[in-house]
Amino acid sequence: MATRTTSVHPRRKSKEDKVILEHSLELCEKMLKDLEGGKRPKLTATKCALDNSIYNSKVGFLTPGSKRVSTELNVSSVKKMSRAVFMLEILLRNIETGNVNTKRELYYISKGEVKHNKLMKALDFGDQNESDSVVDFICEMLECYREEMNCFANDRGGQTYSQNLVVTERLPDGTEAVIDLSQLGTSPFQPKNRPQNLTLKAKGKIDFCLVVESEGTANTLVANGFVKRHNSIVVGAQGVPSNAVRGWVKRIQDQLRVPIYFFGDLDAYTMQNIFRTLKAGSAASLIRNSDFSAPDVRFLGVLPEDIKKYDLNDYPVNERDAQEIRALKKARDALANDPFFKDKKNKGLSEILHWLINNKRRCEQQAFYSVDPRDPQMAEKIIIEKITKGHYV
């Protein structure tokens, strides 16, 4: 492996960085020691799956049970393990120097390493899926977030608008940046994938935060003056919330202590994938749900009763669309196995799932615009009415 490394920032290692470095070295030391003693090194990690998820309404998010998965060194796993050690070396070097990379870049970095060292040729990744799974494997073993390993995904979603919010970002070089969202004009503020570095402050009154499933609709609301008329924060989720959105909403909940409402489609996919992940995290990220879920988020709609109340245009689930059918099937599974939907506290949400399964109909968030087609503020009015009258779950 190349010995020359360059750092982009003169930097101080954070507490988290030190923990990761120590933990990794301990792990390597133990593996080497086992090998010296002719013992099989064994890596164990928390099992991140629904059958190891526990939901306690007092905690508010999915937490891991006691099940562990382990990988023992043998002829079948020797390739995976040597690849993991190889990739770990690259990641630790990044932490040491403060470099960050995307998964795709890591794939090419590993390719480059192999190119310069013929002995490593056997480790060469055939495609990015292979290197991605090794990165994930390392994070599982070290029980850390990918972002903690300085590996960032493309920032997606989380575009935030507010007239009263000020964000302070701690930068890798130890300095700070202060962003007043009211000064950004029509541009949104976009949180990074590691929102732990952000501190939030309200410079005026903030009554609530609205998370909108569709980024476009969030943009429309703001363009029509939503944040000017209401003391609020509007966040566009852009589909299934990324780590950035999840961590960001959690930050809003914890640091500003304002009510948060989620406004999205009425369908099984939104309820089960988007909203559940935002509120209680996911089974795949059991170990980091504590930082990446906002249990106080309420489901504002579209609610089943809204269809009748506002005479919204809904339509039947397309039985030929494999994705929609899969979502319904998953919803059925969720009602039976997902501890979040099985919990009494979330009865209102599971009832919505029941309604979706039984009626096989869906209604989109944009249907609010059909209520009074000549009034561009109609959606806004309905949202505010629902919030003030408490029409949410």
Partner 1 sequence: MTKPRQITTSSTAEYFSKNLQQVGFSSPTKAVLTTVKEALDNALDACEDHHIAPDINILVEKVGNGSLKNTDRIRIRVEDNGPGIDAGDIAKVFGEYLASSKFGRGRCSRGQQGIGISAATTWAIQTTARGVSVTTKTKGQKKAVKCLVEVDIKNNKGIIRDKEAVDWERPSGTAVEFLIDGRIQLNGEAGLVNYLRGNVLVNPHMTISYTLPDNGTTKIERVTKDVPQIPEATEPHPHTMKLGEFISHARLFGKMKTSNWLKQGFSRLNDKILAEIWKGQKLARALLDKSTEALNEKDISGIYTAIQKAQLPPPSTQSVMSIGEEALSLSIQRLGDVDFFSVISRKPMICDFKPIQIEVAVARLKDRRGEDHDEPVQVLRFANRVPLQFDKAACAIVKAISTINWRAYGIKQPRDSLPQGPYIVAVSMVSPFIKFKNASKETIDASDELVEEIRRALMQAGQKLSRHINRESRVNDHETKIAHIEQFGPILIDGLVRLTKADESRRIKATEGLRKLLGRDALESEKAVKVAKEKSEAVDAKRHRIKMFREEDQAIESREAEKRAAADGLDEVDAIASESEDSDDSEGGVAVVTAKSKKKIATKQAGQIIKKPVKKAAKK
- Binding residues for partner 1 (CB under 8 A): 1, 24-25, 28-29, 31-32, 34-40, 73-76, 78-79, 81-82, 85-86, 88-89, 92, 119-120, 122-123
Between residues 115 and 332, which has the closer beta carbon with respect to partner 1? Answer: 115
CA 25, 26, 31, 36 torsion-angle sign: positive
List the structure tokens of 88. 């770990």
Identify which of residues 27 and 363 has a Cβ nearer to partner 1 in the complex. 27
Compare residues 73 and 245 and give the one whose CB is closer to partner 1.
73
CB of 30 to partner 1, least distance (A): 10
Task: State which residue, 92 or 383, has the beta carbon closest to partner 1.
Answer: 92
Q: How far apart are alpha carbons 310 and 302 in whole angstroms?
A: 10
Residue number, 33 or 228, with CB nearest to partner 1: 33
Q: How far is the CB of 116 from partner 1 (least distance, A)?
A: 15
Instruction: Specify the DSSP class assigned to residue 292.
Output: S
In the complex, least distance from residue 39 CB atom to partner 1, rounded to whole angstroms: 7
Closest CA to 262 of 231, 221, 301: 301
Least distance in Å: CB of 120 to partner 1?
Answer: 6
Closest approach of Cβ 25 to partner 1, in Å?
Answer: 6
Task: Select 89 or 180, whichever has its Cβ closest to partner 1.
Answer: 89
Q: What sign does the CA torsion over 285, 287, 293, 295 have? A: positive
Cβ(262)–Cβ(299) below 8 Å: yes
Question: Is the separation of the CB atoms in 209 and 232 below 8 Å?
Answer: yes
Cα distance between residue 85 and residue 233, in whole Å: 44
CB of 79 to partner 1, least distance (A): 5
Q: Which of 210, 188, 159 is nearest to 379 (CA)?
A: 210
Backbone angles phi, psi at 256, to 5 degrees: -105, -20
Nearest residue to 247 (alpha-carbon basis) of 284, 195, 322: 195
Amino acid identity for residue 148 in this structure: E
CB of 146 to partner 1, least distance (A): 19
Tokens of 71: 């990988």
Select 86 or 208, whichever has its Cβ closest to partner 1. 86
Q: Is 49 helix (H, G, I), strand (E, B) or coil?
A: coil
97 or 182: whose CB is closer to partner 1? 97
Residue closer to partner 1 (CB basis): 124 or 143? 124
- Residue 211 CB, nearest approach to partner 1 (Å): 42
Q: How far is the CB of 41 from partner 1 (least distance, A)?
A: 9
CA 99, 47, 103: angle at the middle one, nearest 5? Answer: 25
Q: How far is the CB of 43 from partner 1 (least distance, A)?
A: 12
How many Cβ atoms are within 10 Å of 70's Cβ, its own excluded? 10
Beta carbons of 283 and 48 less than 8 angstroms apart? yes
- The three-class DSSP label of residue 390 is coil
Of residues 123 and 286, the one with the C-beta less far from partner 1: 123
Query: Is residue 335 within 8 Å of 272, Cβ to Cβ?
Result: no
Structural contact between residues 7 and 150, judged by C-beta atoms closer than 8 angstroms? no
Taking Cα atoms as reference points, which of 158, 136, 156 lies closest to residue 147?
136
In this structure, the strands spanning 208-212 and 260-263 are: parallel
